[in-house]
Amino acid sequence: MRQARLKIDEQPTWYHCYNRIAGTRYDLPFGDIEKEQFVRLLRRVSILYTVEVVAYQVMSNHFHLLVYAPADEPDADEMCRRFKAFHGGRRTLEPDSPTCRRWQARSRDISWFMRHLQQLFTGWYNRTRPVRRRGSLWADRFKHTLLESGLAVWACWTYIENNPVRARMVEQVADYRFCSHGYWLQSGRHPFSGNVRRTALPMLWDLFGLQDLSEIRAAMGKALAGKVDREADSAGFTFSVQRRVRHWTQGLVIGSQLYVRESLSRHRRVADVLHHRMDRAESLSGPPLYSWRRLRSVESG
C-alpha cells in the first residue's frame, strides 16, 4: 500500500526529485536524442507550473531535478496566461472558472508537475521507438527528498550536477550538456536563470555572500572540482561530490536536526519522530546536515 507523499504546502519548499527507468542498472536506453527531448519537455512543463526548476541532470537511465515549490498559488490571470502559453494559444482558460481554480491548486504541486513531465516523455518515447512500445517506462513513481533551504540545497545541487563525472561518462561537468551546469558553461547562460535569481540567489547571498549568477557559477565550479579557498571551506562551501552518497537518494528529509524533525512531525507521530535516530548526512566544517532515511528505496545514481 502506497504511503502519502511527504510534502509541505503552506510554505516555500525545496525538493530533490528523481526517478529511473524500469529494468536493471545496466539498461541505458537514453541517448543524446532522448536526453535532449527530456530537457525540452522539462522546459515546456515549467511554463505551465509555478514549480521552479533550478537544476537538472539527465543520465542514460535516470534523472535528477532540484526544484522550488512556492507556498502561494498563482492568481487566475497568471494561471490563464501560463495555460495558454503551454498550449501555444490553442487552448485557453476562463478566469475563476472551476477548471482554472483546479489548475491554480495544481500549479505548485510537485506531484502534478512530475506526473505531467513523466507522462509527456513516456508518450513521446513510446511513439518514437522503431517498434512502438506500450506501457510504463519508469520503474516506480518518482521519489523526492525535502531539503532545508541553505546548506542542504547547495550540497544537493553540487552533488547532482557532478553525476556524469562520478559515472565516468566525462572528466568534468563542462563536457556534459545534459545537465544545467554543463549547459550553462557551454552556452554561457543558465537554462533556468530567472528561477535561479528568484529562488537560489537570495539563499546563497545569505549563505556565502554570492551576489550574482556569475559568482554562483564560479562557486559551483570550485565545488565540483573540490577546490575552494579557506574562508569558503570554513563556511561549509564544499561537499562530497566526487563519490556516490546514498542519503541523496534514500533520504526523505535532509537538513538540520530541527528541520528534519519538524518536517516529519507533520506526517508522523511526534513521539516516533523524537526518538528516531537520524543519519549524519555530510561531514562538513560548517553546520552538520542530517538525513531521515526511507526504509525502502530504488537506488539511483
Instruction: State pLDDT tens for residues 267-290.
Output: 666 546 555 666 666 544 467 888
Please check whether residue 167 is in contact with residue 161, taking contact to mean a CB–CB distance below 8 angstroms. Answer: no
What's residue 123's pLDDT?
96
Average confidence score pLDDT of the chain? 86
Integer-rounded Cα Rg, in Å, for the chain is 19
- Could you read off the pLDDT of 191-239 as tens digits, one per residue? 999 999 999 999 999 999 999 999 999 999 988 886 544 344 444 444 5
- Could you read off the pLDDT of 248-261 as tens digits, one per residue? 777 788 988 888 88
Q: State how far the Cα of 29 lies from the Cα of 106, in Å rounded to an integer.
A: 31
Which grid cell is 133? 512500445
In one-letter notation, the amino acid at residue 49 is: Y
Which grid cell is 268? 508522523
Residue 261 counted as domain residue: yes
The greatest distance separating any two alpha carbons of the chain, rounded to the nearest whole angstrom, comes to: 56
Q: Please indicate whether residue 93 or residue 263 has the higher confidence score (pLDDT).
A: 93
Which segment of 14-23, 25-34, 228-237 scores lowest on mean pLDDT?
A: 228-237
- The secondary structure of residue 54, as a DSSP letter, is E
Residue 97 counted as domain residue: no
- Could you read off the pLDDT of 173-193 as tens digits, one per residue? 999 999 999 999 999 999 999
- The secondary structure of residue 276, as a DSSP letter, is P
Q: Residue 69: pLDDT above 50?
A: yes
What's residue 251's pLDDT?
77
CA 221 to chain CA mean position, Å: 19
Q: Residue 298: pLDDT above 50?
A: no
The stretches of 62-212 forming alpha helices (DSSP H) are 76-86, 98-106, 110-127, 151-161, 163-166, 180-187, 193-195, 201-208
Name the pLDDT band for 297 (thresholds 50, 70, 90): very low
**Residue 155 belongs to what H/E stretch?**
helix 151-161
In one-letter notation, the amino acid at residue 289 is: L
What's residue 229's pLDDT?
43
- The residue among 53, 44, 29 whose CA lies nearest residue 180 is 53
Mean pLDDT of 6-20: 90
Q: State how far the Cα of 96 lies from the Cα of 136, in Å rounded to an integer.
A: 35
Residue 88 counted as domain residue: no
What's residue 142's pLDDT?
93
Residue 98 counted as domain residue: no
Residue 161: domain span: 13-72+108-293
Which grid cell is 194? 530567472
Residue 8 counted as domain residue: no
Residue 236 counted as domain residue: yes
The total number of structural domains that make up the chain: 1
What's residue 230's pLDDT?
39
CATH, residue 124: 3.30.70.1290
Residue 82 counted as domain residue: no
Q: State how far the Cα of 87 lies from the Cα of 85, in Å rounded to an integer.
A: 5
Residue 241 counted as domain residue: yes
Please check whether residue 198 is in contact with residue 67, taking contact to mean a CB–CB distance below 8 angstroms. Answer: no
